[in-house]
Amino acid sequence: MNEEQAKKRVNELRDLLNKANKAYYQDAQPFISDKEFDEYLAELERLENQYDLATPDSPTQRVGGEPSSDFETVSHPVQLLSLDNTYNEDELNDFDRRVRELLGHENFTYMVELKFDGAAIRLRYENGDLVLGATRGDGERGDDITRNIRTIRDIPLHLENEYPGVAEIRGEAYIERDAFVRLNEHREQQGLNAFANPRNSTAGSLKMQDPREVARRPIRFFSFDLITDNEAPITQYEKMELLQEYGLRVCQHYKRCEEIAAVHAQIDEWKELRHDLPYETDGVVVKVNEDKYREELGSTSKAPRWAIAYKFEAEQATTVVKDIRLQVGRLGKITPVADFKAVELAGTTVKHASLHNEDEIHRKDIRPGDRVVVEKAGEIIPQVVSVINPDRDDRSVPFEMPTHCPACNEELVKLGEDVDWRCINPECPPQIRQRIEHFASRDALDIEGLGEAVVDQLVTEGLIKTYADLYELKKEQLLPLERMAEKSAQNLIDAINSSKEQPLHRVIYALGIRFVGKTVARDLANGFQTMDALMDADEETIAEIDSIGPKIAESVVKFFDQEHNRQMVKTLREHGLNFEMEEQEQTSQKLEGKKLVLTGSLPSFTRKEATELIEKHGGKRTSSVSGNTDYLLKGDSPGSKYDRALELGIAIIEEKDFLNIIGEKV
Ligand SMILES: NC(=O)c1ccc[n+]([C@@H]2O[C@H](COP(=O)([O-])OP(=O)(O)OC[C@H]3O[C@@H](n4cnc5c(N)ncnc54)[C@H](O)[C@@H]3O)[C@@H](O)[C@H]2O)c1
Ligand SMILES: [Zn+2]
């Protein structure tokens, strides 16, 4: 590359990166993946250095983002910087070497913290009172979002203990994965657009104009930096302790490391463990621990020289949309799905993603043939983030929603304010199949051997039309089916028969009533005690049950109003399914309010059975060990959760202790 070409490329890259910054920070609508962004940025930096082309306004020199016009702008007395980052271990060693060379000794230590994937926030406390909450913006000026910040429960309005006169605190606002999924479900039920990922939902929530709305969003906050008018130089470690003393929430997963080898070990551990955390992390941050050495090392215009972010494999990728097809749900909801050229995304191969609904496709203007950014929202669900280069000329035509069901050709309808199209034909084959699959699923009647393939054959062969027909099946009818031998046929018949023993709440759940999930089904069973009482209840009575709103009540009544549903329920009764609450469903209070974490395999229970036992006695099973954990239930070959529990002094129990506590036998 000659100088001329380098200049051209530098301009191209700057233009692209500036656009990407705007899309990412202002519009929360990135059009390239983080990894690609970081690669382009690294390329730009290389060229600028090699050809001496750096300018102060280059994206390599500036913190991305800008204050918005919707809020008052505040200046930050001490800049909020970005972090240099790397995806690679050698570069981490380079960082370590640089620090040692610049300081000229090795008397420093490192702090390793998780890198939370949310929004950077600055807080200011004067005489212990919260006086300001602001976004990072361009690092020098951000948005004053104090009113919104005050609604976040992890952020105290007053500091505790012996706080300094002025305290500047930095941290990350974020939304937990579960809460994110619920938030999106809630939005979808209300017909609003789903957020692409927890980070976007946090950034979006913080910029809402009505603080009451913000208060309803499950925003959490971790503090990780403290600047005070107190001169004494301290360490990051001490800062974390002080923050907690002042009443701020600090993530407990921080670790002091004497040398870079220990940092690598931490990284290896978090690469795996982070998936068990309730929130998203995109890496770890490695910081020189001591303030006095930080001062010596200083910063560039963009990032401190005393810290680096080690980023984990990006959870985004790009691929090409091959086709957009319609999927018919169990309740007739039509979901457009994009089929991709297979792409690796955070450890799995992704071939398709839900596009949610017609509006969503038009908003993102996704068309077959487009190259798109995909990512995993909440590390679970693949999603199309956006189309790359939407202005190119050779695109296919915009997506047009078909008017008829792809499976049964019934005309699609929209109910009320619903954003989704539906097929309301009760005989629509995919709906029939899915209702039966749902009926037999693990959390419903748990009929082993009745998976997708078998149900498909049973329906195609005309052996069953509804789940109630299952109980009429004879072994002889099963034998001709594919991969069905004498033994498997008998097993299936036995499994269908023993499903009659399942408790009432599972039967209610199995019916497949809209909005009636596992928890609601349990509440309905507890509230009404019998199927008959539930069937005869009106909306008002149903809505009297705590936790059940008018929407669910309406849906239950509607279900039992329909003749074909009543008929099915009648058949189920004739076959002897449980229509009354059983004694043993009553829960004990022995684990009331207790949080248990499981590790390793238990001698007599599967994880699912153990979870059910815990819940039956009023406890809750959580996935990761924290200060709030009451018991760690330890089985054979326990994982790292065991070490963590030891470290935190959590009570560790084995299966026999557990059974003692709840007063049950194997
Ligand atoms: N896809 C795109 O188009 C696009 C565009 C712009 C930026 N980006 C992504 O964003 C990155 C740059 O964003 P950035 O400047 O906000 O940097 P960053 O998010 O990579 O790192 C800096 C931020 O990390 C946060 N952080 C989280 N945990 C922390 C901890 N324990 N200690 C200290 N800080 C912690 C801080 O809020 C800080 O502002 C890029 O590297 C890129 O991956 C992507
Ligand atoms: Zn249909």
Q: Residue 378 pLDDT > 60, yes or no?
A: no
* 367 and 473 inside one domain: no
Q: In 355-472, where do the E strands start and end? A: 371-377, 381-387
- 119-126 sheet: strands from edge to edge: 129-135, 119-126, 166-175, 219-228
Ligand 1: does its nearest atom lie under 6 Å from the Cβ of 85? Answer: yes
- State the residue range of the domain holding 10: 3-50
Domain boundary among 311, 338, 373: 311
Same-domain pairing of 110 and 91: yes
What CATH code is carried by the domain that includes residue 229? 3.30.470.30
Averaged pLDDT for residues 509-521: 88
- Residue 397 domain flag: no
Specify if 392 maps to a domain: no
Distance 81 CA to ligand 1 centre (A): 10
Residue 252 is predicted with a pLDDT of: 94
CA-based radius of gyration for the chain? 29
306 and 320 co-located in one domain: no
Q: What is the pLDDT of residue 279?
A: 93
| Ligand 1 touching residue 38 (CB < 6 A) | yes
Find the ligand nearest to 66 CA: 1
Q: Which of 285, 287, 301, 372 to mutate to test the pocket of ligand 1 (most atoms within 8 A of CB)?
A: 285
CB atoms within 10 A of CB 19: 12
Between 608 and 325, where is the model more confident? 325
Please tell me the distance between residue 39's alpha carbon and the centre of ligand 1 in angstroms. Answer: 14
The stretch 562-586 carries a mean pLDDT of 87
Higher pLDDT, 108 or 545: 108
pLDDT of 583 above 70: no
Q: Any idea what the CATH number is for the domain that residue 658 is in?
A: 3.40.50.10190
Please report the pLDDT score of residue 190 as a whole number. 56
Question: What are the φ/ψ torsions at residue 215 (nearest 5 degrees)?
Answer: -60, -30
Nearest CA to ligand 1 atom 37: 120
CA distance 433 to 183: 29
The average pLDDT across 277-290 equals: 94
Contact between 588 and 618 under an 8 Å Cβ cutoff? The reply is yes
| Any ligand 1 atom below 6 A from CB of 28 | no
Question: Which CATH number goes with the domain that contains 475?
Answer: 1.10.150.20
Instruction: Indicate if the pLDDT at residue 640 is higher than 90.
Output: no
Beta bridge pairs of residue 226: 169
C-alpha span between 82 and 72 (Å, rounded): 22
From residue 179, give the alpha-carbon distance in Å to each of 26, 176, 183, 278, 369: 23, 5, 6, 9, 34
Helix/strand/coil for 531: helix
| Final residue before a domain boundary, out of 537, 552, 583 | 583
- Domain assignment present for residue 465? The answer is yes
User: How many domains is the chain built from?
Assistant: 5
Q: Is the CB of 172 under 6 A from ligand 1?
A: yes
Q: Which of 16, 25, 33, 34 has the most ligand 1 atoms within 8 A of CB, as the residue to mutate?
A: 34
Domain for residue 421, yes or no? no
**pLDDT for the residue numbered 375:** 85
77-86, 259-268, 646-655 — which is least confidently predicted? 646-655
Distance separating alpha carbons of residues 308 and 437, to the nearest angstrom: 49
Give per-residue pLDDT as tens, 17-71: 998 898 888 776 677 777 788 889 999 999 999 999 999 889 999 998 888 878 9
One domain for residues 338 and 221:
no
Answer yes or no: is pLDDT of 377 > 70: no
Ligand 2 centroid to residue 204 C-alpha, Å:
36
pLDDT of residue 233: 67
Report the interhelical angle of 429-440 vs 452-460 (nearest 10°): 130
Comparing 549 with 406, the larger pLDDT belongs to 406
Looking at the structure, do residues 352 and 367 belong to the same domain, yes or no?
yes
554 Cα–ligand 2 center, Å: 23
- For residue 133, is it within any domain? yes
Residues 488 and 505 in one domain: yes
- pLDDT given at position 191: 53
pLDDT at res. 401 = 95
What is the band of 246 on the pLDDT scale with cuts at 50, 70, 90?
very high
Average pLDDT score over residue span 231-252: 91
Q: What percentage of residues in the chain have a pLDDT greater than 90?
A: 64
pLDDT of residue 663: 83
Three-state secondary structure along 97-158?
HHHHHHHCCCCCCEEEEEEECCEEEEEEEECCEEEEEEECCCCCEEEECHHHHCCCCCCCCE
Does 148 share its domain with 289?
yes
Percent of the chain beyond pLDDT 70? 96
**Are 346 and 441 in the same domain?**
no
* Residue 404 pLDDT > 70: yes
Residue 396, domain member (yes or no): no
State the maximum Cα–Cα separation within the chain, in Å, rounded to a whole number. Answer: 86
Q: Please tell me the residue having the least CA distance from ligand 1 atom 42.
A: 34
Provide mean pLDDT across the span 556-560: 96
CA of 582 to the centre of ligand 1 (A): 54
pLDDT of 431 > 90? The answer is yes
Q: What are phi and psi of 596, to 5 degrees?
A: -115, 145
**pLDDT of 559 strictly over 90:** yes
Three-class DSSP category at 167: strand
Note the ligand closest to the C-alpha atom of 65.
1
Q: Which pLDDT belongs to residue 24?
A: 84
Q: Cite the annotated binding site for NAD(+) by residue number.
A: 34-38, 82-83, 113, 136, 172, 287, 311
* Stretch among 107-121, 329-343, 608-622 having the lowest mean pLDDT: 608-622
353 band by pLDDT with thresholds 50, 70 and 90: very high
224 lines ligand 1 (CB under 6 A): yes
Residue 327 lies in a domain: yes
Confidence category of residue 584, pLDDT binned at 50, 70, 90: low
- The band of 385, judged by pLDDT with boundaries at 50, 70 and 90, is confident
* Residue nearest atom 44 in ligand 1 by C-alpha distance: 34
- The domain boundary residue, chosen from 553, 583, 613: 583
Mean pLDDT, residues 587-605 taken together = 85
Q: Is 21 in the pocket of ligand 1 (CB under 6 A)?
A: yes
**Pocket of ligand 1 contains residue 34 by CB under 6 Å:** yes
Q: What is the CATH number of the domain that holds 19?
A: 1.10.287.610
Question: For ligand 1, is residue 222 a contact (CB within 6 Å)?
Answer: no
Residue nearest to atom 34 of ligand 1 (CA): 115
Q: What is the per-residue pLDDT for 29?
A: 67
Least confident of 115-124, 255-264, 274-283, 559-568: 274-283
List the CATH number of the domain containing 326: 2.40.50.140
pLDDT at 209: 84
Q: Are 122 and 207 in contact (CB under 8 A)?
A: no
Q: Is the pLDDT of residue 607 over 90?
A: no
Are residues 593 and 468 part of one domain?
no
pLDDT, average across residues 192-211: 83
Residue 395 maps to a domain? no
The pLDDT assigned to 225 comes to 96
172-176, 534-538, 654-658: lowest mean pLDDT where? 654-658
Per residue in 313-330, pLDDT (tens digit) is 767 889 999 999 999 998
Q: What is the DSSP letter of 516?
A: -
- Place 146 in a pLDDT band, splitting at 50, 70 and 90: very high
Identify whether residues 42 and 164 lie together within a single domain: no
Give Cα separations from 213 to 51, 70, 181, 189, 218 (angstroms).
Answer: 50, 16, 18, 17, 11
Tokens representing residue 8 in the block: 């051209």
Question: pLDDT averaged over the chain?
Answer: 90
What is the number of the ligand 1 atom nearest to the C-alpha of 80?
39
Q: Which among 115, 140, 221, 288 is the best mutation to test ligand 1's pocket, defined by most ligand atoms within 8 Å of the CB?
A: 115
Q: What is the pLDDT of residue 604?
A: 86
Give the mean model confidence (pLDDT) for residues 126-153. Answer: 95
pLDDT at 64: 83
Given 8, 115, 474, 620, the catalytic residue: 115
255 assigned to active site: no
Range with lowest mean pLDDT among 7-11, 65-69, 295-299, 628-632 = 65-69
Alpha helices in 338-485 (DSSP H): 358-364, 429-440, 452-460, 475-478
| Pair 576, 610 in one domain | no
Q: Sign of dihedral through CA atoms 129, 132, 135, 141?
A: negative
**Mean pLDDT along residues 411-422:** 90
Could you tell me if 626 and 650 lie in one domain? yes
